Structure 1
């Protein structure tokens, strides 16, 4: 029965899911019409809201690009590659390959979502070289599936935002330490439950051998080689010597590491987006050894951000329409109207999951829902930390069916969104049940 449901999900997605960019365009049209029908705005007003919001997330987009690029660059260091090969060697059967990729993806995304997306995709590629008869679509879907835990992890933007001094809602909820959000018993229980159950679920989705699609792309087994269109420079020139100087890399890394140490000594283990990016950046510089190797890796990493750079403004436009038209508030208010103090965190999670389809951004999600949900939490006497994590988990949960964040994984794997989203839809149902139960039990 489970296999039949999985096969039906895969067939439906293959038939109806458009390209990720078209998905964003279709969402734009849906929100445009909804703002007119539900909130009574005029078409001209909706166009104005869209245009006003279109460039509204440039700063946040840069933060997201940096996390992705620095995570990718770190994953390309020799020590990380050797680690990937060592981990891949443990996958000796198709079933074990699926379990292993899912588990590694969960752990890596919990540490850092940019690093996790890239490492899990690279691991899937490495395993595909080694393990015969593993379904490549499910393997890549498993690599992406672990992304569902990111907002409950060390790089979760909502828990890091509310833990940062002078955040936008500090006057309402104060500063909430990470011990009450990402390191709370509730959050850790949800994360561990997903890490245990999701690999088993993905293993159950493995198609019969006759139905598996084994990827045999010409580039899969090819070792990456550095190439440049420019003529080779004189190796003895001062410029080339500086580019290949380990001393320069180690000195600038030392400055970064000293700053990180002093930061943690002064403020304790308080993570935020800038600190996470800085740590991965200087680890990448240090482990690559020379500026030239680091810059080459950065150049490759930046290629994976194309979809983010192109599509994020469209989602910013959607956010502009959702916010200015009052549509996001209307959705949130409806969930509030049916809530009790016991169910409020659960319904906040569900509403965040729904809104995330239109606003696939942790920061954007918080900007829209935080000002609405937090005053209500105060009135109902519900923990601000718990409601913040409900928004965070809702944002992470429906990313499983939002092609936007799958783009880096798909780019590395050489697949399209339609290839993996049928499996991701099944993961959505399973993880949704786990997270919902977590908010009801704690």
Structure 2
């Protein structure tokens, strides 16, 4: 029964889900229509929100960060030492069941520790397992690698729980309620009993859910060997190197470069511990990649090869920034935005028991159109935090409801899947059917967590 339902989800997504870029265009049109009809703004006002300073080019910095996550992570993985490590893990799989479960566990744990690291490592491990294990469904394998991302906002790199732990963060969204000194410690968010309950069940349950989705031989789609073909290492004759060639392979320049990078990496770890920003994760990817490749020329070649896979991110992220601009763009007369309409709708039907659950569900809906943790907080916190306070709800629980809603519907939102799909050589429709199951499983666990605690 479960496999039939899974196969049905896969069939529907594969047949009706368009390319990720077309999905972004459809969301743009839906948001535009919703803004005009629900906020009383003119079509021209919505266009201005779409293309304005907080619109189309509002995610340029974040777009570059994500391009670097993909390119630097992939370049690092091309090093022989790193490939051999992934191969050793992959060889332990041996069977499709073990391959799926290992991928799920590694991915979900890595994403809980740091989402940028987990997003790339899960996809790279999945590719290696596809090479080693015969008879494994490649679509499910990549979907499994991506599914671990569902826990990121409840993990130690979650942007909302880390943000509210800083003085002044809550005052910005609700100045009439919180002063500049009020903070919410991570012991009440990330490491609270409720969050550990939700995270723990998903982390240990996801491998078994993914195992249950393994299709029978009739429905199994193995990897196209062409997707796993790797560029052969160039044979080089050192005797023919020009002075420029020798400089590119100079161990002295390589060591100096590494010294600059690793001095700062060690310093940063001593200052902030495991609280890794996305910029610092990219910094680590870069210098570990330089180290593993052995010289600067090899690393340059690896980056050149990896850069071609970033096309989807470069094309689509500006359109999602435009969608965010229309979601948060308010009517100048009433101050109403489309995101506000959605959030206020859920607030109006809530009480002190159901408010965290409805905050989570509303955040899940808004996340389709604002798939960014920081953007999600900026959109919903000014509405949800005061409403939760008025109902007597713990502000830590309200903040985590927004955080988990932001993470939850990423399972059926191609935005965050783009790096994994680029590494895998697949389209969104190939994996989203399986991710629907992860969405349902995690949705039940998260909802139960908010109602039980």
C-alpha separation between the residues in 2 aligned to 1:432 and 1:319?
24
* CA shift in 2, pair 1:208/1:41, >3 Å: same
Instruction: Provide the C-alpha distance between the structure 1 equivalents of 2:186 and 2:136, rounded to a whole number of angstroms.
Output: 39
SS across alignment from 1:132: coil
Q: 3-state DSSP class of the match of 2:247?
A: helix
CA contact (8 A) 1:163 1:270 kept: no
Change (3 A) 1:178 1:290: farther
| Distance of 1:227 and 1:338 partners within structure 2 | 64
Deviation of 1:235 after TM superposition, in Å, equals 5.8
Superposition deviation, residue 167 in structure 1: 5.0
| 2:82–2:292 CA contact under 8 A, matched in 1 | no
**1:200-239 alignment to 2 at 5 Å?**
200-220=208-228, 222-225=229-232, 236-239=241-244
Pairing 1:377–2:388 present: yes
Which residue of 60, 70, 75 maps to 2:62?
A: 60
User: Could you tell me which residue of structure 2 aligns to residue 90 of structure 1?
Assistant: 92
Find the residue that maps to 1:209 and give its secondary structure: coil
Deviations 1:262-284 (A, max 9, x none): 34444555443333333333333
Corresponding residue to 1:339 among 339, 347, 350: 350
**Secondary structure in 2 matching 1:426:** helix
Counterpart of 1:292 (choices 289, 297, 306) is 297
Q: Work out whether residues 150 and 407 of structure 2, in 8 Å CA contact, stay in contact via their aligned partners in 1.
A: yes
Spell out the pairing of 1:194-343 with structure 2 (5 A cutoff).
194-220=202-228, 222-225=229-232, 236-267=241-272, 269-325=274-330, 326-343=337-354
CA apart distance, 1:46: 1.3
In structure 2, relative to structure 1, the CA distance for the partners of 1:315 and 1:131 (3 Å cut) is same
Q: Separation in 2 of the partners of 1:212 and 1:64?
A: 31
CA distance in 2, matches of 1:163, 1:238: 53
Residues 294 and 159 of structure 1: is their aligned pair in 2 closer, same or farther, counting only changes over 3 Å? farther
1:365 CA drift (Å): 1.4
TM-score between both structures, scaled by the size of structure 2 = 0.88
Equivalent residues in 2 for 1:81-160 (5 A)?
A: 81-160=83-162
Paired position in structure 2 for 1:13: 13
- For the Cα contact (< 8 Å) 1:75–1:118, is it kept in 2? no
Which runs of 5 or more residues in structure 2 are unaligned?
331-336
Question: Does the aligned pair in 2 maintain the 1:6–1:205 contact within 8 Å?
Answer: yes
C-alpha change, 1:440 and 1:69, in structure 2 (3 Å) is farther
Tell me how far apart the structure 2 counterparts of residues 94 and 107 of structure 1 sit (CA, whole Å). Answer: 20
Residue 155 of structure 1 contacts residue 276 of structure 1 at CA under 8 Å; is this kept in 2?
Answer: no
Structural mapping, 1:358-373, within 5 Å: 358-373=369-384
Q: Aligned partners of 2:82 and 2:433: how far apart in 1? A: 30
Q: CA deviation at 1:237?
A: 3.8
Cα contact 2:69–2:120 (8 A) shared by 1: no
Which residue of the partner structure matches residue 74 of structure 2?
Answer: 72
Q: Equivalences for 1:26-37 in 2 at 5 Å?
A: 26-37=26-37
C-alpha separation in 1, matches of 2:314 and 2:75: 18
Counterpart residue number, 2:190: 182
Gaps of 5+ in 1: none
Alignment RMSD = 2.7
Go from structure 1 to structure 2 and tell me whether the alpha carbon gap of 1:47 and 1:437 turns closer, same or farther (over 3 Å shift).
Answer: same
- Decide whether the 8 Å contact of 2:357 with 2:447 is kept in 1: yes
How far apart are the structure 2 equivalents of 1:215 and 1:268? Answer: 39
Deviation at 1:84, TM superposition (A): 1.0
2: CA distance between counterparts of 1:275 and 1:164?
19
Q: Distance in 2 between matches of 1:72 and 1:45?
A: 41
Partner of 1:47: 47
Q: 1:247 to 1:184 in 2, by over 3 A?
A: farther
Are residues 265 and 177 of structure 1, via their aligned partners in 2, closer, same or farther at CA, if it must alter by over 3 Å? Answer: farther
- Of 233-242 and 206-215, deviating more is 233-242
| Aligned equivalent of 1:161 | 163
Partner of 1:356: 367
Determine helix, strand or coil for the equivalent of 2:218: helix
Q: How many residues align?
A: 439
- 132-141 vs 13-22, which moves further: 132-141
